[in-house]
Structure 1
Amino acid sequence: MSNNNSYKIRLATADDAEALLDIYRYYVEKTAITYEYEVPTVSEFKSRIEKVLEYFPYLVVEEGSSADDSENAGSTRIVGYAYASKFHERAAYQWCVEMSIYLHKDCKRNGLGRALYEELEKRLKDMGILNLYSCIGYPEKEDEYLTYDSVRFHEKMGYKLIGHFHKCGFKFGNWYDMVWMEKIIGEHGDDPCIINSQHS
């Protein structure tokens, strides 16, 4: 992380939609990290945020100018976000979530992804979530649109590869694979607590 800036993780609001969409836009238009073809509208993205927040934490990380940077004092910008969503609608899956994370394209490899995921994991564990899953685009060989970076990141975060689907996504004239990764963060007892939708 830069010595000239400080970082703060907080719960997202629907009002963050435009800033988050600005980050996501790059991944839709320039990468196969997401298999979405069209950039959502701000209104659609706002609805996605609100839907997640009904059940799970949706976190953003803000970069703020340091106290000794008088020219930009008090200014902040969102440089990444991470959230959990339902792994499946059926009730028996309520202790599982799917994880998602996106950082501004110029803010990678500086610890922000780890900080976001660790905070999200802590909040999910406090809710009683036990299983974390991530669905990740995976190339047969790395190219300009997709690398193995996301898999490597999740491995460092303690995730294990549990499934591999071949040539299931087509984007930019290429077929891409998809893998599932899993991390267990709690004990699977005989009488797990029912998950509610309250979070902070």
Structure 2
Amino acid sequence: MIKSALAAVFALAAFGSLLAPYCKFPTHSTSLCSPINPCGFVCKDGYTPFPLIFPTKCVCPWPLTECNGKCGIYKACPSKGHTKRDLSAAMANCPVGQTVCGILGRAAGSWECVNTQSDLESCGGCAISATNEANDGEGQDCTAIEGVADVACVGGGCQVRKCLDGYEVSPGNNYCIPEEREKGIFTVAKDIIAAEFGA
């Protein structure tokens, strides 16, 4: 009886080792083959096998969340960031005429390819460098011009088309000038009469 049980175990082990090369293991798992389960696996990085009986995948169940390839409880999930090598690769991957610029409000090292000759937020150069440091005026965010209502980036320079009420377009069409609010003598007289007599 013991001999037949041992023979069965060895047969299963041999069968399992034959199947192991054909097993497909889910993401976030490592193989754990056994005579009973030749394609067995265990989940790693905080993931849980699913379904519990005869699992086929590793999941990150609620209330846990996934962050940079790990499952756990996180308040925030920072970007892995980019290395100089990543930025060099990004520059090589940007289309001709585009520049690698940082993204305002994103993690350090976040970048995108930008046409600085026509981009409203990085006009004339990157407003934020690829390492998310201010570029000291290398580029300009045309939408941040005080009093602007309609603006474009043309040839790497902000071109103001229209200003908000109380502003007028500068002679060079590159910013908005607050309008002078001098009242003429008749306007002042009218205001005094209206205040005095309620007209």
The two structures have a TM-score, normalised by structure 1, of: 0.19
Higher strand share: 1
> TM-score of the superposition, structure 2-length normalised?
0.19
Q: Which has the larger radius of gyration?
A: 2
Instruction: Identify, as 1 or 2, the structure richer in helix.
Output: 1
